[in-house]
Amino acid sequence: MPFNRPIPETKPRTKLSSAVGALVEAEKLMQIAILLPSAAFIGWLAGAWADSRLHQHWIGIAGVIFGGISGLVYVVRLAVASASNSANEELTEGPNETGGPDEAGNSDEKDSGKTKP
């Protein structure tokens, strides 16, 4: 029975992959920073248009509120998806270096002449 290390060793990231990862994270943060005000602005524009067409004065405020809420919902969904993607990347990072069987049941160790039952 092969010994499986409890904590697998991970390969250190190269400078290029860590730089690209940093740029991806910065892009996600910029997307969040731009998304919230733009959603509220688009809601305000839609509300102002509806105000002018329906001759009401409260629809613009409702549009800003609706745009803000929809922007927050999208940001929360984006954050949850990002968190689950990063958790999946941590679990599946790199090849199996523990010497034990991988997901398919194949072992990295060379056969030492023993037959498997």
Q: What is the pLDDT of residues 69-103, one digit of tens each?
A: 999 999 899 888 877 877 776 666 555 445 555 55
Tokens read off for 91: 């679990």
Q: What's the mean pLDDT when you consider all of the chain?
A: 77
The pLDDT value given to residue 32: 84
The pLDDT value given to residue 53: 94
Note the pTM of the prediction, 2 decimals.
0.56
Tokens read off for 106: 């194949």
* C-beta separation of 29 from 65 below 8 A: no
